[in-house]
Structure 1
Amino acid sequence: MHLATLATSLASAFDAGGMDIDVRPLIARRSAGVDEVVTAAWKRAVATAPGDGMAAPALFAVGGYGRSELYPQSDVDLLVLLEETAQAALAPSIARFVALLWDAGLPVGHAVRSLAQTTTASLADITVLTAMLEARALSANADAVAGLEHAIDESRVWPPADFFRAKRDELRERHARFGDTADNLEPNLKEGPGGLRDLQTLRWMALRVLRTGDFGSLISLGQLGADEQATLDRQYDVLARLRFGLHLVAGRREERLRFDHQKALAARLGHVDAPGSLAVEQMMQRFYRSAALVQRIGERLLQRFEEQLEGEGAVEPVDARFELRRGYLAAREPAWPADVGEVFALFHAWAACEPDRVRGLHSRTARALAECLSRIPSYVDADARARSDFMSLLRGPRPVHSLTRLARLGVLGRWIPAFANVSGRMQFDLFHVFTVDQHTLAVLANIAAFERGGDERFSVAHEVIPRLRKPELLLLAALFHDIAKGRGGDHSALGAVDAREFCVAMGLPPNDVATVEWLVARHLLMSVTAQKQDIADPQVIHRFAQQVGDRERLELLYLLTCADIAGTSPKLWNAWKDRLLADLYVATRLALRRGLESPLMASERGDETRAATVGLLSADGIARVDIEAVLDRMPVIGFQRANADQMAWQARALLALGARETCVAARPLADAGALEVFVHSPDRDGLFAAIVITLDRLGLAIAQARVLDGPGGRVFDSFQVVPSDPRLQPDAHDVAQRLTRVLEGPLDALRPARRAQPRHLRHFRIAPRVDFDDVPSPPRTMMSLVCTDRPGLLADVALVLREQRMRVHDARVATFGERAEDLFQITRVDADGLDLPLDETTQQALRAAMLACLDGECP
């Protein structure tokens, strides 16, 4: 009852404190309350001495409980120190003691060891020693306390140098498990990079290396600046507040800030929605910034611990102002830096060094840089020399490395205040898996990968980037493309204004200013065109080419689009998107070369594709008469909408068909698991639904579908598919065989597989919309669907279309995190079997059926 009352009191105090509540007193009260329960149970259950002159058993709090740091759902870790010969005799009493604690509602973990066993266990497992470092006596005399200290003394187990190296490696391995970033959508407050475990690890290192675990005392030892210590204290408060609240919201020991709890915790802390910034986004931004500061200062402390153990090491000159100390870049002058020009000079020297030569920035120089951040002017207030120095970084060696370092060390946010505003800013959706600043750095990293080449994810980018006249324009566009996120309004338009002002201030020529401004304003144009329009249509290419205007902008936009999509989420880029954008780039480049005044006509494109297809098949040794015969069986529009390679592949499949009526072929598009699937079959009701349902059951998601009617009432359908699970590598031959078996049987009984909705999708609900537009030639109806994505969505949609007797002629499927945006070109089949566009009554009936399905009432 005592603990329940305490928990209620702590929760009330937390809720009354708001977003800046100091939870340290609450943590201390929780620990003190647990102390009372534990010591009372100990006195009740365990004898004061085992008899026969043996030492009395001693009780210690260890781990987080040992440092009196207990959150609402934290484990209570205990050590019973007892001579080995007495352990069996006292085992029943200790078991009763633990049972009393469990009955009281405490999640107890305990160990019973002698002093010798403690030494042995600590030698074998550094985590045992780590827990002992902050042991606190709950019921122990002075001899027991001294004995425990001696048992884990550095002269017996894990001397300082060994302990430091082991804990440093442990920290790095732990960071690697989280992708070396705190900027995850569901970060771990305790174990993740920049989390509470990082602060604890630094404290443990200090205890072993410097014999003090108090960050304040490290100031007098010259290991930590007063500003650094104050920063670590502030960030601990932020992290501790979040963890305390998370335990309250979750009602259990939960360290991962899941979507399930983010909104509730933000509300509990008092955050409120604001224009362009949700309450949950404000809370998460605070966390990401705190984690980044913990990591930044933590790196400096690790270096200082190294120096304490290994000495300063040899000094290697770099230039007149900088040198390497133990491989870390350092300023030679103690008073560095005098101005922002010297700051940029540091990054120039860093960029000029070979990458393997520099381990990082020296801790003293990093601290000096941090201390001078407030004196760094924004580009608006800077002089012409500083502006020139910045631009020379973008035009110098490894500019992406320089921009990344400037961002992570806080300089870029001072130089461009708008970048500071998006630092740590998350977007509460599943599409953007990184904060805005980390996404921007990922986009820049992709651009650097284009320059290096060898990244098989991008088939054309490495060929395009060497042709850029001024690569720095691409870097500037990448830097500003999302910089206006969170302000409300169109971030592309607002960011274009920022980009223009910056480029003018940097002294760029007017044409270059206009190019960067256009790229930022239209950075989504190519992605939207490729994914939502039919880029095989010459009219679509012509319109896109008119918007782009010239080849330089096309090349810049293509590279920016590839880098942007691939930098949004590791799962978002795939072989299909690579091919889609490459095809749009190549087609637009040809259109620009031909001239915007003479666009390519569909019939001309069809003739060119057919001629190229004949050439490919002739190269295979196929007789010309056979080639012409098979191509005549294929729909004319196919040559207008596909490329020669696709048409030749389909023709080969038809030549091998023999007497069978159904032909299914599949081939890999790239090594990322994407497939192209071709289906040739007599047309019949439900065929499209059967294909979609079967592909879904095979674990394949359709990215694009083209459904063409050929001579003799036969269909020529092609699908671009990718694995729903990126870990799967589908076999093209197996897919073709299984789909063939389905299509050769009855289709009416085929139903989509039912799956549970993934946990994370439950927290992102999009009100479904179904809209219709007319397609004039040929007369059809375009149905657009926007809704929350879920497993099997397209299969359910296809089933509704089948039940409503709709025929699908084209489909474009796009998923943006939790948001599905799908387009279908459809007709209704009348009593005479004719394809007609949908009238108003039919549209209303289809919309009602589709919305019912999306609400879980599928046929």
Structure 2
Amino acid sequence: MGDEYGRTYGCRGLGTQRLRGGPAAPPPEGARSGPPRRAALAELTDDWLTGLFDAGGAGPRGVSLVAVGGYGRGELSPRSDLDLLLLHDGGDQGAVAALADRIWYPVWDLGLALDHSVRTPAEARKTAGEDLKVQLGLLDARHLAGDLALTAGLRTAVLADWRNQAPKRLPELQELCAERAERQGELQYLLEPDLKEARGGLRDATALRAVAASWLADAPREGLTDARRRLLDVRDALHLTTGRATDRLALQEQDQVAAELGLLDADTLLRQVYEAARVVSYASDVTWREVGRVLRSRAVRPRLRAMLGGGKPVAERSPLAEGVVEQDGEVVLARTARPDRDPVLPLRAAAAAAQSGLPLSLHAVRRMAAAARPLPTPWPAEAREQLVTLLGSGPSTIEVWEALEAEGLITRLLPDWERVRCRPQRNAVHIWTVDRHLIETAVRASELARRVGRPDLLLVSALLHDIGKGWPGDHSVAGEIIARDVAARIGFDREDIAVLATLVRHHLLLVETATRRDLEDPATVRAVAEVVGSQSTLELLHALTESDALATGPAAWSSWRGSLVADLVKRVSAVLAGDAPEEPEAAAPTAEQERLAVEAFRTGGPVLALRAQTEPGATEADNAVPDDPEPLGVELLIAVPDQSGVLPAVAGVLAMHRLTVRTAELRALPLPDGVEGSVLLLNWRVAAEYGSLPQAARLRADLVRALDGSLDIAARLAERDAAYPRRRGVVAPPPHVTVASAASHLATVIEVRAHDAPGLLHRIGRALEKSGVRVRSMHVSTLGANAVDAFYVTGTRGGPLPGEEAATVARALEETLRT
């Protein structure tokens, strides 16, 4: 029996010597997971434990074996632990101890996790009164063997205690849920979620059962059972595929879990998990709000009784908008509201709720979902205005939007929303699903609404800028098509539709150009100006760019990126105003640069200077380097006699010292009159990955060794690369190298997209040196684990490379990075 148990359910080493009773019950035909399998596993476990309890004849009187917690609910996954209570009436202690040994030791022998206790009913109730988690476990107590009356009596007493103590214990339970959510995050947004502990997971579903058992409040039941079942199914598959008792759905295991469940891929799996978690989270929000309302009403009721017979009547309802009122801290429909005759009512109620910072009543949302008529196409002006008001209400927009979405009203208003709803983003930079990111962007955009002349276009573009991620291909291209359709449907005129389409199509233009292109190159500025077309669109695109980045996550925006984007916007604005950008002239070296060049010529070796650069345009007076520089980093000046291998040597030394390169410029300064040759001047902005910056003397010493060949940078970086943290089972996409044609008239722009790793710039520099080109400047950008770098290269004579030569260099570089 034990071998069959193990084969069928994935349990560890169940041997026949410890199992008693009948043969194992096989799972239903074709069942991989689901309630039938869990029920069969619970029944099999029940039979085994009952056999242990009854071994050697009837057990002692006044004793029962009780399953509690998840086992009590019959929710056993293949690697679940067993929660057991040996309940006794306080009789023969020796017999009870012997019985406990007879049950516990076989469980331990099989390597099963066991949470056990031996208590009298009074002890169990006392412990439950002191420990909320124990009380929650006892709410699901289920009799297994022995004295049934003893178990029934405990269940009755525990439920009575729970209901009597609910006003005190439910706030404790709510606080426990909030603390767990703070630690574990929200299941509906995490790329590697904990199915049990994260907010919206199995713990919260169990908490909702406990609230319902208190009779004080109840959760919205529609969809909750299915959501709980889906999370349990995923946990079953996770246990089966990993062979471990884990609740964390790690990235490297998601494809296997999806296959075990018969799903298309890992994204489909995550989307189902997110949808289930969203149902549980929304039910939790509504339930805890109802608990708070009931507890407040109980506290206020005695004071109201004292006021009966005199004083002013308590105002029950306050008008908020046409057909919308506030009642008991929620937004509800007025008694005269007619959703069946007022198609704008859902948006009007949502806007009123968001503007007042109040939640939408569950009853009101469901009534509108059931009765509201579809909006005509195009929408009336009031509907469009109410949507803009909702989007511009700040953080309170999120809760209201989620309430509408929970009852299907969002996809009814915006059918294209269905493709982005609960869609995961497999990018470490993004902290939200696609749909939540769009709402977060609108929230951020509402903070910038005073910066633009058309805040309505800013808010709607924020809502739609990533709407194309639900379609194949470039999401910006697909999004432009969708944005045109949506904008026309909700009633914008032709000119506004064109602006919204431009914003969606080019929402990444400013940040990508600012971080990957030479802003001193007139071609860069002209290209952006041609796309944007007008000052008002540039103004909107600037605000959308910042809102999008801030809503993405902390890694997507910084004061450094913000300063680059602002610089680009200033230059483009000048062009749009009619000021043609001038061809850049070689800037005269500063006094410090000349000093470094002369010192490098005199010593014949590299000379370095580190200088804090906390704000754009910082002067040379800031020579001290603080231990913790601001996000703009530190300016690193290096002068070295012109020779081959300088770029890979500098990049390698910086990588060895864990310095991140943000921008880099290289130029040759001629030596004094009558002296042949030149000095290379490197002006780079760097920042420490962590810790403090290294001393300039240490950097110079290593650079000297790198240039004379006594320091094997490749070997040192290979050692680090071997220890570089990578997720087991995650294979990075291959690098991609392209030539950005027409990006500059002064140089050839080669773009590199690759997995970030120590020494990547060193490898690129070596490959470009080998190809015989010179790097004029480079613009690096790291987004999560992805490096997106642009290199401005020239030939030996200083001009752009011919087309075929540029393509050859790009192919050679890509081949080098692939090996």
Query: How high is the TM-score relative to the length of structure 1?
Result: 0.78
Task: Tell me the residue number matched to 2:36.
Answer: 25
Tell me if 1:754 matches 2:721.
Answer: yes
Q: 1:413 aligns with which of 404, 411, 414?
A: 411
CA distance in 1, matches of 2:373, 2:399: 16
Q: 2:552 aligns with which of 552, 568, 571?
A: 568
Q: 2:786 aligns with which of 809, 819, 842?
A: 819
Residues 346, 368 of structure 2: 8 Å contact kept: yes
Task: Tell me the residue number matched to 1:240.
Answer: 232
Q: What amino acid does structure 2 have at the position aligned with 1:343?
A: P
Residues 188, 274 of structure 2: 8 Å contact kept: yes
Note the 1:666-815 alignment, pairs <5 A.
671-672=630-631, 674-712=633-671, 713-722=678-687, 724=689, 728=690, 730-731=691-692, 734=694, 736=696, 738-743=698-703, 745=705, 747=707, 748=709, 749=711, 750=713, 751-752=716-717, 753-760=720-727, 762-770=729-737, 782-798=749-765, 808-815=775-782
Task: Tell me the residue number matched to 1:103.
Answer: 109
CA distance in 1, matches of 2:688, 2:123: 53
Note the 1:241-280 alignment, pairs <5 A.
241-272=233-264, 279-280=265-266
Q: In the superposition, relative to structure 1, how do residues 849 and 397 fare at CA in structure 2: closer, same or farther (>3 Å)? A: closer
Residues 666, 735 of structure 1: 8 Å contact kept: no
Deviation at 1:207, TM superposition (A): 1.4
SS of the aligned residue for 2:36 comes to helix
Deviation at 1:178, TM superposition (A): 3.9
Task: Tell me the residue number matched to 1:326.
Answer: 328
Q: Deviations over 1:786-838 (max 9, x none)?
A: 333335433444466678887543222233444333333457999xxx99979
Q: What amino acid does structure 2 have at the position aligned with 1:389?
A: A
Q: In the superposition, relative to structure 1, how do residues 646 and 491 fare at CA in structure 2: closer, same or farther (>3 Å)? A: closer
SS of the aligned residue for 1:536 comes to coil
Q: In the superposition, relative to structure 1, how do residues 492 and 804 fare at CA in structure 2: closer, same or farther (>3 Å)? A: closer
Q: Deviations over 1:70-113 (max 9, x none)?
A: 11111111112246786677556534532311333532222233
CA distance in 1, matches of 2:286, 2:800: 70
Q: 2:382 aligns with which of 360, 365, 388?
A: 388
CA distance in 2, matches of 1:440, 1:63: 39
Residues 22, 237 of structure 1: 8 Å contact kept: no
Q: 1:187 aligns with which of 183, 193, 200?
A: 193
Q: Deviations over 1:376-434 (max 9, x none)?
A: 52x5x35754x523324415894455754553122332211101221111244445442
Deviation at 1:759, TM superposition (A): 4.2
CA distance in 1, matches of 2:197, 2:336: 36
Note the 1:645-664 alignment, pairs <5 A.
none
Q: In the superposition, relative to structure 1, how do residues 758 and 746 fare at CA in structure 2: closer, same or farther (>3 Å)? A: closer
Task: Tell me the residue number matched to 1:660.
Answer: none
Deviation at 1:707, TM superposition (A): 2.1
Task: Tell me the residue number matched to 2:46.
Answer: 35
Deviation at 1:122, TM superposition (A): 1.9
CA distance in 1, matches of 2:742, 2:483: 38
Note the 1:200-215 alignment, pairs <5 A.
200-209=206-215
SS of the aligned residue for 2:556 comes to coil
Q: Deviations over 1:99-158 (max 9, x none)?
A: 311333532222233334323322332111111111112123144214533664554898
Residues 800, 850 of structure 1: 8 Å contact kept: no
Tell me if 1:556 matches 2:535.
Answer: no
CA distance in 2, matches of 1:842, 1:11: 69
Tell me if 1:530 matches 2:529.
Answer: no
CA distance in 1, matches of 2:377, 2:794: 62
Task: Tell me the residue number matched to 2:121.
Answer: 115
Q: What amino acid does structure 1 have at the position aligned with 2:150?
A: A
SS of the aligned residue for 1:571 comes to helix
Residues 500, 517 of structure 1: 8 Å contact kept: yes
Note the 1:82-481 alignment, pairs <5 A.
82=88, 91=97, 94-149=100-155, 152=158, 154-155=160-161, 159-180=165-186, 182-209=188-215, 223=218, 228-272=220-264, 279-311=265-297, 315-319=316-320, 321-333=323-335, 337-338=339-340, 339-353=342-356, 355=357, 358=358, 360-372=359-371, 375-377=372-374, 381-382=376-377, 384-385=379-380, 387-394=381-388, 398-400=392-394, 404-405=398-399, 407-408=401-402, 409-410=404-405, 411-451=409-449, 466-481=450-465
Q: What amino acid does structure 2 have at the position aligned with 1:33?
A: L
Q: What amino acid does structure 2 have at the position aligned with 1:390?
A: R
Q: Percent identity?
A: 27
Give ranges in structure 1 of 5+ residues lacking alignment: 50-54, 211-217, 273-278, 452-465, 614-625, 636-643, 657-664
CA distance in 1, matches of 2:804, 2:646: 25
SS of the aligned residue for 2:347 comes to helix
CA distance in 2, matches of 1:838, 1:761: 43
Deviation at 1:538, TM superposition (A): 2.6
SS of the aligned residue for 1:705 comes to strand
Q: Deviations over 1:526-573 (max 9, x none)?
A: 232223211122331122222222211111111111222232333222
Q: Deviations over 1:458-477 (max 9, x none)?
A: xxxxxxxx342111111111
Deviation at 1:628, TM superposition (A): 11
Tell me if 1:600 matches 2:582.
Answer: yes
Residues 393, 402 of structure 1: 8 Å contact kept: no
Q: In the superposition, relative to structure 1, how do residues 735 and 441 fare at CA in structure 2: closer, same or farther (>3 Å)? A: farther
CA distance in 1, matches of 2:560, 2:446: 22
Q: What amino acid does structure 1 have at the position aligned with 2:288?
A: L
Q: In the superposition, relative to structure 1, how do residues 529 and 783 fare at CA in structure 2: closer, same or farther (>3 Å)? A: closer
SS of the aligned residue for 2:519 comes to coil
CA distance in 1, matches of 2:145, 2:160: 25
Residues 162, 214 of structure 2: 8 Å contact kept: no
Deviation at 1:32, TM superposition (A): 0.8
Q: Deviations over 1:728-748 (max 9, x none)?
A: 4x545x454543443355553
Number of aligned residue pairs: give it.
759
Q: What amino acid does structure 2 have at the position aligned with 1:368?
A: R
Deviation at 1:776, TM superposition (A): 11
Cα root mean square deviation, aligned: 4.1
Task: Tell me the residue number matched to 1:496.
Answer: 480
CA distance in 2, matches of 1:558, 1:15: 59
Q: In the superposition, relative to structure 1, how do residues 736 and 583 fare at CA in structure 2: closer, same or farther (>3 Å)? A: farther
CA distance in 1, matches of 2:91, 2:352: 65
CA distance in 2, matches of 1:687, 1:15: 68
Q: In the superposition, relative to structure 1, how do residues 34 and 745 fare at CA in structure 2: closer, same or farther (>3 Å)? A: same
SS of the aligned residue for 2:78 comes to coil
CA distance in 2, matches of 1:841, 1:538: 24
CA distance in 2, matches of 1:589, 1:203: 59
Q: What amino acid does structure 2 have at the position aligned with 1:185?
A: L
Q: In the superposition, relative to structure 1, how do residues 431 and 310 fare at CA in structure 2: closer, same or farther (>3 Å)? A: closer
Residues 304, 363 of structure 1: 8 Å contact kept: no
